[in-house]
């Protein structure tokens, strides 16, 4: 079945460092891919998405490119801030029949220090 694997955390970085969080997936067909973020004490919120191969999603300085050949959707940011500290979840859409059924990875906790 469909699944998502993302790198284990925690990832600890200094402010302004470069961030990569790896995400790979297994899926039949052509799923859409998502990154969700969960800040402390809050619900999950969409960070970015890509709906087809070679699409690049971007938001708030974060980027991820849908790579079908490597079944990957790695999250990157050139310069992280303390406010980026959160848990990041990679997900793919696995639904049929007109609704979006998300399958999540286990999440990667990011801690950014001043």
Nearer to another protein among residue 84 and residue 105 (C-beta): 105
What are the backbone dihedrals phi and psi of residue 38, each rounded to the nearest 5 degrees, phi first? Answer: -125, 105
What is the nearest approach in angstroms of another protein to the Cβ of residue 53?
14
Nearer to another protein among residue 18 and residue 30 (C-beta): 30
Burial 89-106 (b: 16+ CB within 10 A, else e): bbbbbbeeeeeeebbebe
Nearest alpha carbon to residue 35 among 2, 68, 62 = 62
What is the nearest approach in angstroms of another protein to the Cβ of residue 80?
22
What is the nearest approach in angstroms of another protein to the Cβ of residue 11?
14
Q: How far is CA 60 from CA 4, 8, 74, in A?
A: 23, 23, 16
Residues in contact with another protein by the rule CB under 8 A: 4, 31-32, 34, 36, 41-46, 49, 51, 89, 93, 95-107
Nearer to another protein among residue 45 and residue 83 (C-beta): 45
């Amino acid at each position: 079945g469909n699944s998502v694997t993302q790198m284990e955390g925690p990832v600890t970085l200094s402010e302004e460092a470069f961030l990569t969080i790896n995400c790979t997936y297994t899926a039949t067909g052509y799923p859409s891919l998502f990154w969700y973020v969960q800040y402390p004490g809050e619900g999950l919120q969409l960070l970015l998405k890509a709906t087809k191969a070679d699409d690049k999603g971007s938001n708030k300085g974060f980027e991820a490119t849908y790579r079908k050949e490597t079944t990957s959707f790695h999250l990157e940011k050139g310069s992280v801030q303390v406010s980026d500290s959160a848990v990041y979840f990679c997900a793919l859409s696995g639904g049929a029949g007109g609704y979006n059924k998300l399958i999540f990875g286990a999440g990667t906790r990011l801690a950014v220090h001043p």
